[in-house]
Structure 1
Amino acid sequence: MNLQNNFIVSDPNIMMGKPVISGTRITVELILEKLADGEKIEPKG
C-alpha cells in the first residue's frame, strides 16, 4: 500500500493550522461534526 498521498494536511497558514482535506479549506473537524449530526457523505461523480 502506498501511503505517500497526503489526503489530510496541516499548514499554519491555512485555517489556523487545523487539519484539512488537501487542496481545500474543509476541516476534518467540520466533517466529523457533520457526521455526528447524522449527515451522510455522498460520493461525487
Structure 2
Amino acid sequence: MESFKKVTSIVTPLDKVNVDTDQIVPKQFLKLVQKSGFGKFLFFNWR
C-alpha cells in the first residue's frame, strides 16, 4: 500500500461521547468481500 500525503474532504464533528464500530458500519454490511464501497453504509442507522 502506498502512503498518501494529503486528504481533501469534508469534516464534521460528532457530538457523541462514544461511537462504537457497529454505529460506523453496521454488521449487516460487513459481509461484503471487497475492501471498497463501504462509504454508502457509513453511519447508515443515523441517516
Measured against the shorter chain, the TM-score band is under 0.3
Q: TM-score, normalised by structure 2?
A: 0.24
Q: TM-score, normalised by structure 1?
A: 0.24
